[in-house]
Chain A
């Protein structure tokens, strides 16, 4: 069987009497592209924050990259990459400075940083932009760079929180090429998106409604289960039942 790299059992987070995440149980395998879907306010961000060691669960258990989300959060952080739409890179640093900064944070040696920088800049075709401030790059390039930076320390899993929002359709697809390449190299991808066409690019997806995982399967099987040929319908069918006013 394939290696399981994320495993949760009844993972729950409450804030006072509000249950943001309610007993979610699932597994993600090595190299898998796992889409984590749900309406705004369904509990995706809270769940993700527990998985990356930023928020302590109220109850239940979870192992991420072989480490416990209660006790081994520092080990988790060393073994995962994270990129969000809202914050990714330092706008006032250049491309190379950002790479250097993150490389150093993750404890890479100067020699490693040098090699990785060259490799990354070449792969993304950023040779002419390497010494420019990140602020001057188009959003799509920033996102591609940000993803590559999240991979610098060769993590086992990368968490992507709406990485392609607002990105043009061509760059959005280039971004997914990077995701596929990482997955081919055995890196697990855990991604949230509001684009239903991107849900189709995932091996499996889960859909959260009101803090619970209401569906989990491959896009093909989910469409069969809901008797439709569009992911939009599946999502709509599940999410419109939401009681929670976010």
Chain B
């Protein structure tokens, strides 16, 4: 449904900033595909190339069978795009914005109302309010409605949940799952690693490069080292102590635990570590082997 082939994009006078470095991946029809990476990784540049708003320096890409450079008109008619930055008309009301986008795409709100109904009912009490006066969460819902009003085959969502609290994030993802069930292919980017598991497949991206493309489960399973979660009475002191442990590959905080990785062939490492930490003055020590998450994998790739 979406294919990128060696996409390259540079910025700056001397092309010194590499926003996309030979990026290749493909998204299958009906998938929720996540582009996972921090701010500045190149996610937005990729989205803008795929939505025909930015020309690649080299490489090619297609969306729904159309070439992003040659067939940009067809692509714009077929896809829905919700940019990271709010980009509706702040001086138009909720209703006027939606009507505007429907008209531009040669359709009406009524025609595809089914698709947006569930989201739009939450906006209806405010339909006369100017879009610029809406709260963050409401703006986001309106933007999603506007991106859906022409019943796109592929939906591009650029960081829809940045700065959004955990409850609203959860609701947003439930909404995406229901849209996806109506056979809309979704390409979504996020800086939240925990959202990776909600995608069918993900691409990890950093500094313009794709580091890995696979299902979240396969990515977690391919973690190369042994991983443990460690807890003690004081996290700050625990991290300092762990850094001194001779057999360690890496250690870092992960919520209430610290995660540490050691070489796969290390035997009886748990006891050894426990003794070491006790000697370092730690109390209430708890050590358990765990499976890696996508975030663990990402940290491994960055280090």
B299→A239 contact, CB < 8 A:
no
Distance, CA A171 to CA B192, complexed state (A): 14
- In the assembled complex, B105 has its CB within 8 A of some CB on chain A: no
CB-CB contacts of B252-290 with A at 8 A, as 1s and 0s? 111110000000000000000000000000000000000
Closest approach, in angstroms, between the C-beta of B55 and any C-beta of chain A? 23
B39→A180 contact, CB < 8 A:
no
Given contacts A139-B38, A169-B295, contact A196 B165 (CB under 8 A): no
Closest approach, in angstroms, between the C-beta of A113 and any C-beta of chain B? 29
B167→A246 contact, CB < 8 A:
no
Given the complex, which residues of A lie within 8 Å of B168, measured CB to CB? Answer: 39-40
Given the complex, which residues of B lie within 8 Å of A180, measured CB to CB? Answer: 235-236, 239
Given the complex, which residues of B lie within 8 Å of A166, measured CB to CB? Answer: 38-39, 159, 162, 191
Which of B162, B255, B302 interacts with A165 by CB under 8 Å? B162
B165→A170 contact, CB < 8 A:
no
- In the assembled complex, B37 has its CB within 8 A of some CB on chain A: yes
Given the complex, which residues of B lie within 8 Å of A40, measured CB to CB? Answer: 135-137, 163-165, 168
B253→A201 contact, CB < 8 A:
yes
CB-CB contacts of B132-152 with A at 8 A, as 1s and 0s? 000111100000000000000
Which of B163, B252, B255 interacts with A196 by CB under 8 Å? B255
Closest approach, in angstroms, between the C-beta of B296 and any C-beta of chain A? 9
Which of B39, B137, B163, B164 interacts with A167 by CB under 8 Å? B39
Given the complex, which residues of B lie within 8 Å of A132, measured CB to CB? Answer: none
Closest to A241 in B: B167
Closest approach, in angstroms, between the C-beta of B184 and any C-beta of chain A? 26
Closest to B134 in A: A246
- In the assembled complex, A11 has its CB within 8 A of some CB on chain B: no
Distance, CA A170 to CA B191, complexed state (A): 12
Distance, CA A242 to CA B166, complexed state (A): 13
Given the complex, which residues of B lie within 8 Å of A184, measured CB to CB? Answer: 236
| Total CB contacts across the A-B interface at under 8 A | 100
B37→A168 contact, CB < 8 A:
yes
Closest approach, in angstroms, between the C-beta of B119 and any C-beta of chain A? 14
Distance, CA A49 to CA B206, complexed state (A): 35
- In the assembled complex, B193 has its CB within 8 A of some CB on chain A: yes
- In the assembled complex, A243 has its CB within 8 A of some CB on chain B: no
Given the complex, which residues of B lie within 8 Å of A200, measured CB to CB? Answer: 255-256
Given the complex, which residues of A lie within 8 Å of B298, measured CB to CB? Answer: 168-169
- In the assembled complex, A197 has its CB within 8 A of some CB on chain B: yes
Distance, CA A176 to CA B27, complexed state (A): 36
B167→A239 contact, CB < 8 A:
yes
Q: Name the interface residues of A114-162: CB closer than 8 Å to any CB of B.
A: 138-140, 162
Residue of B165, B252, B302 contacting most chain A CB atoms (<10 Å) = B165
> Would you list 14 pairs from A and B whose C-beta atoms are within 8 A, ordered by A residue?
A39-B167, A40-B136, A40-B137, A41-B135, A139-B39, A166-B162, A168-B191, A168-B298, A169-B299, A169-B302, A170-B303, A180-B235, A194-B169, A231-B255
**Nearest 8 CB-CB pairings of A with B:** A168-B38, A166-B39, A197-B255, A39-B165, A139-B39, A246-B135, A200-B255, A200-B256
Contacts A166-B38, A194-B164 known; 11 new A-B pairs at CB < 8 A: A39-B167, A138-B40, A166-B162, A168-B39, A171-B38, A194-B169, A197-B255, A200-B256, A201-B253, A239-B167, A240-B167
